[in-house]
Amino acid sequence: MTLPVLPIALIQHAMSDDLEKNIETSCRMIAEARALGAKLIVLPELHRSPYFCKSQNPAFFEYAEPLRGPTFQALSKAASMHGVVLVGSIFEARQPGLASNTAIVIETNGELAGHYRKMHIPDDPGYNEKFYFSPGDLGFHPIDTSLGKLGVLVCWDQWFPEAARLMALAGAQVLIYPTAIGWDVADSAEEQQRQLDAWRIMHQSHAVANGLPVLACNRVGYEPDPNGNQHPAKFWGHSLVTGPQGEVLGEATEDEAIVVQDLDLNQTADVRRMWPFLRDRRIDAYDGLLSRSLCGEDE
């Protein structure tokens, strides 16, 4: 089967405390991306609000919304108006005291094609996500759309080759990561560069190891920490498009941007003939991957 070339766009912008304005910005940029030819358009993680996980504050649960809440409603309208597939991200309220960090995929007709709940949840200074989000309970399943099977993962998942592999094994044709990652402004320039490089390397490596294109869409802008500004963040942008050999096809800077790129999904079959890694996985010897630790007293 010859698939058509798929024009994608990554939208990176800054978020303010004004939720409606954030959604308006996203929708304005979706229209711009469509005008540039994109048919699959990706937004950053938690694009309706500031990145509220810097500290633990129960008040921020007010940002949570149902699966088909205001973000879905606005994106549904944009998807059907422009005839595009959208990948968005919400703080999903499920019941009192239970919320998830959820990616939503919306079809060209405005319907929900599927959703993915972030499986790996970070918790480190400035990223207190375990306070807000229950670990995802839907597993790793690509979402079927009119444009292909989308392996949608979210931010912290990017550091886990296991997640990318499971999506690839399940037939994903492209891996997509909405993200919200930035620098601690107190870190040295060298440390900041190592972190950005490491982030790029991981996305490129998922492409190489699985023979798939990878899209990473990040937010930009400086966001103060409302809790005494202990952990202000400079979100680093650099939204990235790689081909199935990990080659960088498109990349943004630290500024607001729309990255538009044609993806040839047929390349996966060609690359995997040359590098048939899926053929050679030692599934008879991978049991240890289901263990937390294999050393010392843990063994």
Contacting residue, 51, 52, 91, 156, with a second copy by CB under 8 A: 156
With contact defined as beta carbons under 8 Å apart, do 157 and 139 qualify?
no
Per CB under 8 A, 286 contacts a second copy = yes
Which of 1, 59, 189, 290 lies at the binding interface for a second copy (CB under 8 A)?
290
**Least Å from the CB of residue 284 to a second copy:** 9
Rule CB under 8 A: say whether 291 interacts with a second copy. Answer: yes
Residue indicated by tokens 């990706």: 42
The position carrying tokens 């990223």 is: 127
CA atoms of 169 and 52, how far apart (whole Å): 34
Q: How far is CA 137 from the centre of its chain?
A: 17
The answer to whether the beta carbons of residues 120 and 157 sit under 8 Å apart is: yes
Residues 74-93 that bind a second copy (CB under 8 A): none
- 289 lies in the site for a second copy, by CB under 8 A: yes
Q: Among all residues, which ones are annotated catalytic? A: 45, 118, 155
Q: How far is the CB of 245 from a second copy (least distance, A)?
A: 5
- Least distance from C-beta 9 to a second copy, angstroms? 24
Q: Is the CB of residue 248 less than 8 Å from the CB of residue 242?
A: yes
DSSP string, 133-181: -PPPSS-S--EEETTEEEEE--GGGGG-HHHHHHHHHTT-SEEEEE---
Told to check if 188 binds a second copy by CB under 8 A, we report no
**Three-state SS annotation for 29-64:** HHHHHHHCCCCEEECCCCCCCCCHHHCCCHHHHHHC
Write down the least CB distance from residue 182 to a second copy, Å. Answer: 14
Any contact of residue 194 with a second copy (CB under 8 A)? yes
Position 124 contacts a second copy (CB under 8 A):
yes
**Footprint of a second copy (CB under 8 A):** 119-122, 124, 135, 139-140, 156, 159-163, 165-166, 169-171, 194-195, 197-198, 201-202, 204-205, 208-209, 245-247, 274-278, 280-283, 285-296
